[in-house]
Amino acid sequence: MAKTFTAQLPQAADPALTHRKVPRLMQPSVDPAVDPAVVGQQIIQISINSSEDAVLHKIASALTEVFQADGTLVEMVDGKQSITQTLVWHSHAQSPSVEEPFSLWTCPEVNALLQTGEPWVCSDVRQTPVSSALASRCESTNVRAILALTTRSQGKINGSIAIFRQQPYEWTEREIQMLRAVCEPVALTLDRILQARTIRSLQRRTP
């Protein structure tokens, strides 16, 4: 089962449920002045300067700001199993008080598309054929529009990023390209975390 971290400040941190607040920019979408390369460098710096426990949280917060979104999900996958989910809601977003795993992989239609390396561009979940589980999860979190893409390391999927909006929304080509651009540094971060966990696991098994 995936380990889920959800965030929304201001609230005190909890070992199982971490809450953070993301600054809200006023533009309705990605600012044309924002350079994807600069955002990529920001993510790399977050990866370098953050602890393993905090890094995905900080990346999700940064992406929520960049995309002017209501929330961002960063999911780490080992093989075909989701092992860590970090979900950050913007402070203005209507988010549930109790979180359950929010995985796009449970929806066969979305899963099949994400496996190809193409983004899932959904302007309104309620007008899109999705599994009952995903529809119910979106209903409980007020999610209407989703932009999602997998992250890959050495050709293999190691995670995914999903940007959420709580109103129907037509994603722009610039936003799609921005998501493609940030997937590479996020993939490198996920790979580093997975490698560190593998090393620790091997060390524990060593007499």
Question: Where would I find the H helices in 50-106?
Answer: 52-66
In this prediction, residue 83 carries a pLDDT of 72
The pLDDT tens digits for 91-101 are: 877 765 556 66
CA distances from 176 to 36, 120, 171, 195, 199 (A): 11, 9, 7, 29, 35
**Does residue 43 contact residue 59 with C-beta atoms inside 8 Å?**
yes
Q: What is the pTM of this model?
A: 0.82
The pLDDT tens digits for 139-190 are: 989 999 999 999 999 889 999 999 999 999 999 999 999 999 999 999 999 9
